[in-house]
Amino acid sequence: MKNRAKASVPAQVGAGLLFTTQQLLLPMIEGIVHSRRELFSWVQQVGIHALKELFEMDAVEMVGPKGLHRTERSHYRWGTAPIVLPFGGRRIVVPCPGVRGVRGGEAQLKSAAHFRSLDPVPA
């Protein structure tokens, strides 16, 4: 009978466990990053939609409901105008209802002036 040395545990076995753990965690981390990015995008879209509704409510408060003529009005609608707002450290363009005075000149919506001065989502 021949003498054989006992087989020792290969050095790569310990590294295999680490590699398997990395393979399991990497897809979860990628999923978390993707979910965070998509959630932030959705929140931005909902926020922009809410801004549009807020601008429309301000216009209705100042001018009255769209299509309803008032004899003693001081302002009237004048299409839409794109305004630039700070949002998340960058600038976005949002459509805003245009309002003009009866005597001429463009009127500023209160909410548009408010949101121009501050950034709701800090960078």
Q: Average pLDDT of 29-34?
A: 93
How far apart, in whole angstroms, are the C-alpha atoms of residue 12 and residue 51? 58
Q: Average pLDDT of 51-76?
A: 84
pLDDT digits (tens, 9 = 90+) for 2-26: 777 676 665 555 566 667 777 888 8
Confidence at residue 110, expressed as pLDDT on a 0 to 100 scale: 86
What value, to the nearest 5°, has the Cα angle with vertex 55 and ends 51 and 59? 170
Residue spans of beta strands (DSSP E) within the chain: 75-87, 90-101, 106-107
How far apart, in whole angstroms, are the C-alpha atoms of residue 111 and residue 85? 11
- Distances, alpha carbon 43 to alpha carbons 27, 30, 37, in Å: 24, 20, 10
Domain borders along the chain are: 15-117
